[in-house]
């Protein structure tokens, strides 16, 4: 009974597009069945739990990136050049790289579609049209990337950055190849 | 204020105060949070490790000022990580863990804060740490406003195993970002919230990030998901408030900054919203 009531309230709340839902607390002694990972305690406490992801999925904003390059808007002209990208990285580091911009350089600039970048990186495509153009930059040198507490800092010899070919904004960044010891 | 003081005393008092303030400013921005040769990044974080495999997590982070007087080295961010430290494939990977992270940050030489996400999903061949800048933190997200940051496993039909969705949604509904992390399935056993600081300012008096200096960032509505996304209709993911305080850990080489503590511990009040964790960086002291 409690589970059915909860499902009904979730559906109503979804339709009303409210951010927060006040759900009746389930009696822990009547915990719902199934779904929990094996070996984990089963407990339910659905008091005043916002469900933010439901509403974010309605209409996510397209990633904009951050201002980086000035785009040449002339027809049939490359939006930006290797020189432009090199100048950018002289003054700005690759996001989340703990090394210095003086430790790497631009190896290549290619204009690829969103789908091509996704396939090359083995990652999900950016939330935009498959044929949108991305200025994909391969960087070589020394890069230091670190994660959350307790993880190792890894030195990479190759990394990448992706710039929106329409706006020049920096969209994506990451590591391509670890340094061979 | 200066009326009634003996002649010259007011000037001396003002000069004394100026010296005191300048001394304090110069002595406070000392940190080494760079690459391994400098000791690694610094953190002001809280974490939970109570589940074998979290299906997802969410926290609500307030917007605070972030900036740099001049030429800061590194970056500062407020964020959440969902981490697998224990699965063999993750533990044996280069970084020693698999993770997905989401938050907002200020980068060196940047103009403004940006929303971002990143992940490290080995051992998928050739896929290493990577991320994306989702967009600027602009007028839709003023100082003091809040946004929820969610990472949730996507268990819907037809979605490859190991897929996680990342969402950012502000209180007004005017900032709505989504992203997808793909890779081999992993088992997140840790949720971390807090502030990460990277960099080694050459000039400690000026080249230090000024993040959350006079306004602490708060992390509330700390919840974890029982299930992943199972149906596009939204009837999914029972969520539970973080009832346990977990552990609070702060920084490494230079313990503080960042400064952090539980303002309201989880489970203290009936509707405590998973506790309120606050962080501040980078100048000042833990007691300010």
Q: Render each residue's pLDDT in chain B as its tens digit; 288 residues.
A: 444 555 566 555 555 554 544 444 444 446 778 766 655 788 889 988 888 899 999 999 999 988 776 667 788 899 999 999 999 999 999 999 999 999 999 987 777 899 999 999 977 777 899 999 999 999 999 999 999 999 999 988 899 999 999 999 998 888 889 999 999 889 999 999 999 988 877 655 545 566 555 578 889 888 888 888 875 544 445 677 676 666 665 433 335 688 888 888 887 766 667 888 888 887 665 555
Nearest to B107 among A95, A147, A154 (CB): A95
Q: Is B238 contained in some domain?
A: yes
For chain A, what is the domain count? 2
Q: Does B231 touch chain A (CB under 8 A)?
A: no
A52–B150 C-beta distance less than 8 A: yes
A174–B34 C-beta distance less than 8 A: no
Based on the fold, state whether residues A103 and A150 are members of the same structural domain: yes
Q: Is B190 contained in some domain?
A: yes
Q: Is A167 contained in some domain?
A: yes
Phi, psi angles (nearest 5°) of residue A70: -95, 125
Q: Would you say how long chain B is, in residues?
A: 288
Containing domain of residue A103, as a range?
Answer: 82-178
Q: How far apart are CA B147 and CA B245, in angstroms?
A: 22
Q: How far apart are CA B217 and CA B65, in angstroms?
A: 9
Based on the fold, state whether residues A51 and A88 are members of the same structural domain: no
Containing domain of residue B71, as a range?
Answer: 32-280
Q: Is A72 contained in some domain?
A: no
Q: Is A12 contained in some domain?
A: yes
Q: Which of B42, B117, B29, B27 is nearest to B75 (CA)?
A: B42
Nearest to B135 among A37, A63, A156 (CB): A63
Q: Is A19 contained in some domain?
A: yes
Query: From the CA atom positions of chain A, what is the Rg in Å?
Result: 23
Q: What is the dihedral of CA B1, B5, B11, B13, to 10 degrees?
A: -80
Based on the fold, state whether residues A86 and A10 are members of the same structural domain: no
Closest-CA distance of chain A to residue B284, Å: 23
Closest-CA distance of chain A to residue B252, Å: 9
Based on the fold, state whether residues A156 and A93 are members of the same structural domain: yes
Residues of B in contact with A54 (CB under 8 A): 234
Based on the fold, state whether residues A89 and A172 are members of the same structural domain: yes
For chain B, what is the domain count? 1
Q: Is B52 contained in some domain?
A: yes
Based on the fold, state whether residues A114 and A159 are members of the same structural domain: yes
Based on the fold, state whether residues A107 and A52 are members of the same structural domain: no
Q: Is A71 contained in some domain?
A: no
Tokens 């190896």 belong to A107
State the pLDDT at residue A13: 41
Q: How far apart are CA B162 and CA B164, in angstroms?
A: 6
Tokens 């997808």 belong to B180
CATH code assigned at B144: 2.60.120
Q: How far apart are CA A6 and CA B54, in angstroms?
A: 22
Name, in order, each residue with C-beta under 8 angstroms of A135's C-beta and a sequence gap of 6 or more.
A69, A79, A80, A85, A109, A110, A111, A162, A163, A164, A165
Closest-CA distance of chain A to residue B287, Å: 23
Residues of B in contact with A49 (CB under 8 A): 223, 239-241
Q: Checking DSSP bridges between strand B75-84 and strand B259-264, what pairing results, if any?
A: unpaired
Q: Is A126 contained in some domain?
A: yes
pLDDT tens digits for range B200-239:
776 555 455 665 555 788 898 888 888 888 755 444 456 7
Closest chain A residue to the Cα of B168, Cα to Cα: A56
Query: From the CA atom positions of chain B, what is the Rg in Å?
Result: 21
Q: How far apart are CA B192 and CA B279, in angstroms?
A: 13
Q: Is A10 contained in some domain?
A: yes
Closest chain B residue to the Cα of A97, Cα to Cα: B74
Q: Which of B197, B192, B216 is nearest to B257 (CA)?
A: B197
């Amino acid at each position: 009974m409690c589970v059915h009531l909860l499902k009904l309230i979730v559906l109503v709340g979804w339709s009303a597009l409210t951010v927060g839902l006040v759900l009746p607390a389930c009696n822990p002694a009547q915990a719902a069945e199934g779904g929990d990972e094996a070996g984990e305690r089963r407990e339910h406490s659905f008091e005043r739990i916002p469900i933010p992801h439901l509403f974010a999925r309605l209409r996510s904003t397209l990633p904009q990136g951050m201002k980086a390059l000035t785009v040449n808007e002339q027809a049939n002209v490359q939006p930006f050049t290797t020189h432009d990208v090199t100048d950018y990285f002289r003054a700005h580091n690759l996001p989340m790289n703990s090394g210095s911009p003086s430790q790497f350089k631009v190896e290549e600039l290619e204009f690829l579609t969103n789908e091509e970048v996704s396939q090359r990186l083995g990652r999900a495509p950016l939330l935009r049209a498959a044929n949108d153009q991305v200025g994909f930059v391969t960087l070589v040198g020394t890069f230091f990337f670190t994660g959350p507490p307790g993880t190792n800092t890894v030195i990479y010899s190759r990394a990448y950055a992706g710039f929106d070919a329409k706006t020049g904004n920096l969209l994506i960044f990451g590591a391509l190849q670890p340094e061979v010891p | 204020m200066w009326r009634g003081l003996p002649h010259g005393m007011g000037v001396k008092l003002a000069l004394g105060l100026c010296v005191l303030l300048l001394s304090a400013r110069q002595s406070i921005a000392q940190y080494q949070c760079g690459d391994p040769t400098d000791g690694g990044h610094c953190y002001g974080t809280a974490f939970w490790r109570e589940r074998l495999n979290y299906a997802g997590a969410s926290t609500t982070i307030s917007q605070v000022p972030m900036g740099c007087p001049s030429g800061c080295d590194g970056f500062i961010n407020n964020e959440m990580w969902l981490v697998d430290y224990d699965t063999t494939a993750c533990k044996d990977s280069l970084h020693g863990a698999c993770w997905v992270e989401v938050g907002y940050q200020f980068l060196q030489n940047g103009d403004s804060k940006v929303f971002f996400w990143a992940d490290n999903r080995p051992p998928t061949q050739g896929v290493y740490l990577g991320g994306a800048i989702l967009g600027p933190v602009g007028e839709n997200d003023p100082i003091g406003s809040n946004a929820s940051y969610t990472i949730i496993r996507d268990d819907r039909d037809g979605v490859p195993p190991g897929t996680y969705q990342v969402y950012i949604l502000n209180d007004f509904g005017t900032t709505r970002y989504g992203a997808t992390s793909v890779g081999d399935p992993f088992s997140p056993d840790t949720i971390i919230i807090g502030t990460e600081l990277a960099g080694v300012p050459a000039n400690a008096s000026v080249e230090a990030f000024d993040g959350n200096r006079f306004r602490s960032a708060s992390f509330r509505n700390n919840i974890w998901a029982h299930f992943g996304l199972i149906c596009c209709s939204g009837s999914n993911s029972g969520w539970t408030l973080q009832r346990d305080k977990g552990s609070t850990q702060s920084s490494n080489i230079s313990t503080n900054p960042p400064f952090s503590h539980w303002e309201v511990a989880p489970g203290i009040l009936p509707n405590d919203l998973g506790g309120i964790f606050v962080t501040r960086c980078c100048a000042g002291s833990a007691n300010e």
